[in-house]
Structure 1
Amino acid sequence: CWVLAIAATVLCAAPAWAASKRALLIGISQYLDPEMNDLAYADEDVKTFASMLKGFSDYRSSEITLILNDDATKATLVSEIQDLVKASKKKPLDQFILMYAGHGLPAHIESRKTNSFLAPHDAYLNEFFPEGAGGMLGNETFINKAWLIRQLTEMNARDVIIILDSCYSGARDFGELYAENLGFKTEFASEDPQKRGITVLRKKGARAGEPDRRIAFLASSRENQPSAEYPELRHGALSYTLFERLNAIRLETEAATQAAVTVGDVFRGISTLFDTVKVRGESLSRLHQPVLVPIPAYDEVQGMTFVSIRGVRPPKPIRVAQAEPEPAKGRVYLDTGEDVGEVHIDGEKTGKLSNSAFELPAGRHLVSVYLPETRYNRTLVVDVAPDTEQRVDVSLRGRLEIESKPGKRGQKAPELEVFLDGEPVGRSPLTLRNLVAGSHTLTVKVNDVARERKVEIRPDSPLLIRYKIVVKPAGRQADDSGADSVTF
């Protein structure tokens, strides 16, 4: 176990906040490309952050754009980002938050550099092509690194927070190019143990950015590192440590007040957790380390507000002799239908399963239901009213569709034999309904050629997987049946 010290938070009475804020939150667990494995927690991590912003911070629903799974196509993401940039030029923002959780690409593929960076739902790995004369590889189905940086550079916001919970998301490539666009040069990562993982920048003369603009770019890994998801944590590593830090501050902050949580406080808390939280005997930092790129400099960015969090701790009694009144409570019945999961409330395991009633203090609580067999974690904010009992229905079932299409126009795509978790379930085209949410292994076969991948089933996001089948004539041999060969 570990203890989180609450430091560098600024307490104030909860105000009627009028700042102009926007958050664009993108979480992709399900991918259209059969060659790209789905991710267990990316979408739920982003949904959890959205719930925390709405339920415990000062963000309104209208200020949050949440894009998940099959809605997160490249066309949609490009349009949404461009619209936000355009709107910020008409009405400047006090704060803009971008969070992306999903697949990311390294800066080099097969020793060739690429500007392709983040994978939307409809990205395809087999669409790379030589780009320009410098030996670079391009892929129009991915979000381009240089394009994204140009958009973020044009965003008219006083404070910008970027959270990338993806592989290869670190400073040397994306962060360095972003800083370059703003007139800064990356010098090195700080050697100060207290500032480990923080990139140091210097100005590049007259181009150096505006003094009233501050940017915090937080990445889950360095540019040459993968980023891990952990069923033991029910989250990706960066998202888990972020939520733990914010939740600890929320529980330690007195009710009816807000803690203005700073960038410095968040990054210190995340870094500490990466070192102290162990999974299967190893710390999270053994595989990858979080990175912070502060623009223009750490000293100017560390005090910048990351989020404001409303507290839940009961106030201390004014008089010692006066008995503290029992806090008002309500009951919540968590109904998950035919599936039963482990229940966590405000980050703590309750020891109870769903389809049960829970007595909770009045107010908002972060409730999670976890299915260990399929590693699915569903998180929601529940507002408990005093002296009442409410029923909360949580769906834990989803749908999967499998199709095949021919490699050439005019050809007929052969049917695929479909197996889920090793069991035959039919032939394509096939729709499987009422599947338990979470991770499953999908296998398809045709002419003794098989493809296997991990898929994620979601209650609110039906998954379509379309296989492209290429049939090639096989050379006839003495013992050959004459069957054509098939590739996916």
Structure 2
Amino acid sequence: MSRDALVVGINTYDRLKCLNAPATDAEAIAQILQQYGEFRVTRLPAVKDKENETIRIGKQTKVSLTQLERAIVQLFKPDGKPPDTALLYFSGHGLRKNLGIQEGYLATSEVNPDAGNWGLSLQWLRRLLQESEVRQQIVILDCCYSGEVLNFAEADPGDRGKGRDRCFIAASRDFEVAFEDINRLLSRTDLFNSDLSNTNLKNAVFIGIKNLTPEQVKAAKNWDKAKYDKDFRIKLGLPAQPAK
């Protein structure tokens, strides 16, 4: 059985906040797939590790929309015989465009929403998967709004009886943000309508948060162990100053 994987981890962005975890997480996934899953892995962005002469995910290398599109097409609709199993893993920023029609995107390094450049459309990805001849399709998206790719009801009737399997794993639902590290500083983040249900907020730092309500916070786990502004602590029914 042939197994191909495209593993993408984007840390570097021109106009969005740069991230720390995606490249490291992606490289860990790539190594696991190679060692234990017998996958032929393509890394993006790929750089050569000078210390051991191996290929790894680049932590500071940019990925363009064209590069990502071409790599995904090569995975699910290759020129030659398709693999039995194709796996896409993406870690980076996810964006949601809500102008009449809600759309989710995988953000590439050069995205500029103000100029209409949102990245790779998840609707485009769904259409590509529908047309792909790969029998086992696996998509893992570790980014905000990644649940948009799961809106796949229109694909089901046409695939019945074709022996095709799809597995989708998303870090968040189509309206949710996904945290690179919930323990990092979230200052000046707008969490309007974000669902924090069952999120572990222990040691999270909510300073200067916009559009956050006590109801959102109290739906999470360990919400009382996070750090908040003085005024917001009072709204939560906590002492104005945390115990030392």
Per the normalisation by structure 2, the TM-score is 0.65
RMSD: 2.9
In 2, the alpha carbon distance for the partners of 1:54 and 1:85 equals 18
Distance change >3 Å, CA 225–CA 86, structure 1 → 2: closer
Task: Tell me the residue number matched to 1:119.
Answer: 107
2:135 matches 1:158: yes
In 2, the alpha carbon distance for the partners of 1:74 and 1:143 equals 6
Whether the 8 Å CA contact 1:107–1:223 is kept in 2: the answer is no
Task: Tell me the residue number matched to 2:242.
Answer: none
Quick one: which of 165, 168, 175 aligns to 2:150?
Answer: 175
2:4 matches 1:22: yes
Task: Tell me the residue number matched to 1:398.
Answer: none
Whether the 8 Å CA contact 2:201–2:220 is kept in 1: the answer is no
Q: What is the CA distance between 1:119 and its match in structure 2?
A: 0.7
Q: What is the CA distance between 1:106 and its match in structure 2?
A: 2.1
Task: Tell me the residue number matched to 2:203.
Answer: 280
SS at match of 2:109: coil
Task: Tell me the residue number matched to 1:215.
Answer: 166
Q: What is the CA distance between 1:160 and its match in structure 2?
A: 1.1
Q: What is the CA distance between 1:73 and its match in structure 2?
A: 0.8
Mapping for residues 144-293 of structure 1, pairs under 5 Å: 144-170=121-147, 173-176=148-151, 178-180=152-154, 182=155, 184=156, 204=157, 207-230=158-181, 279-280=202-203, 286=220
Q: What is the CA distance between 1:209 and its match in structure 2?
A: 3.0
Mapping for residues 57-136 of structure 1, pairs under 5 Å: 57-59=37-39, 63-68=40-45, 70-87=61-78, 90-108=80-98, 112-115=100-103, 117-128=105-116
Q: What is the CA distance between 1:175 and its match in structure 2?
A: 1.6
Q: Give the AA of the match of 1:179.
A: A
Distance change >3 Å, CA 98–CA 179, structure 1 → 2: farther
In 2, the alpha carbon distance for the partners of 1:278 and 1:54 equals 33
Q: What is the CA distance between 1:127 and its match in structure 2?
A: 1.1
Whether the 8 Å CA contact 1:161–1:217 is kept in 2: the answer is yes
**Structure with a larger share of its residues in strand:** 1
Whether the 8 Å CA contact 2:183–2:201 is kept in 1: the answer is no
Whether the 8 Å CA contact 1:116–1:142 is kept in 2: the answer is no
In 1, the alpha carbon distance for the partners of 2:203 and 2:44 equals 33
Task: Tell me the residue number matched to 2:49.
Answer: none
Quick one: which of 2, 5, 13 aligns to 1:31?
Answer: 13
Q: What is the CA distance between 1:211 and its match in structure 2?
A: 4.2
Q: Give the AA of the match of 1:98.
A: L
SS at match of 2:67: helix
Identity of counterpart residues, as a percentage?
27
Q: Deviations over 1:57-80 (max 9, x none)?
A: 323xxx111103634211111122
SS at match of 1:223: coil
Mapping for residues 351-366 of structure 1, pairs under 5 Å: none
Q: Deviations over 1:6-56 (max 9, x none)?
A: xxxxxxxxxxxxx111101111111022xx111121121111101212233
Q: Deviations over 1:154-185 (max 9, x none)?
A: 22222111111111111xx4321x331x2x3x
Number of residues paired by the alignment? 182
In 1, the alpha carbon distance for the partners of 2:41 and 2:135 equals 18
Q: Which runs of 5 or more structure 2 residues have no equivalent in the other structure?
A: 46-59, 185-196, 205-216, 222-244
Q: Give the AA of the match of 1:229.
A: E
Distance change >3 Å, CA 223–CA 115, structure 1 → 2: closer
Distance change >3 Å, CA 155–CA 279, structure 1 → 2: farther
Larger radius of gyration: 1
Q: Which runs of 5 or more structure 1 residues have no equivalent in the other structure?
A: 1-18, 129-138, 185-203, 234-273, 288-488
Per the normalisation by structure 1, the TM-score is 0.34
Q: Deviations over 1:358-393 (max 9, x none)?
A: xxxxxxxxxxxxxxxxxxxxxxxxxxxxxxxxxxxx
In 2, the alpha carbon distance for the partners of 1:107 and 1:122 equals 16
**Structure with a larger share of its residues in helix:** 2
Whether the 8 Å CA contact 1:120–1:143 is kept in 2: the answer is yes
Task: Tell me the residue number matched to 1:55.
Answer: 35
Whether the 8 Å CA contact 1:23–1:64 is kept in 2: the answer is yes
Whether the 8 Å CA contact 2:5–2:75 is kept in 1: the answer is no
In 2, the alpha carbon distance for the partners of 1:51 and 1:57 equals 9
Whether the 8 Å CA contact 2:75–2:86 is kept in 1: the answer is no
Q: Give the AA of the match of 1:163.
A: I
Whether the 8 Å CA contact 1:74–1:142 is kept in 2: the answer is yes
Q: Deviations over 1:278-333 (max 9, x none)?
A: 6338x9x938xxxxxxxxxxxxxxxxxxxxxxxxxxxxxxxxxxxxxxxxxxxxxx
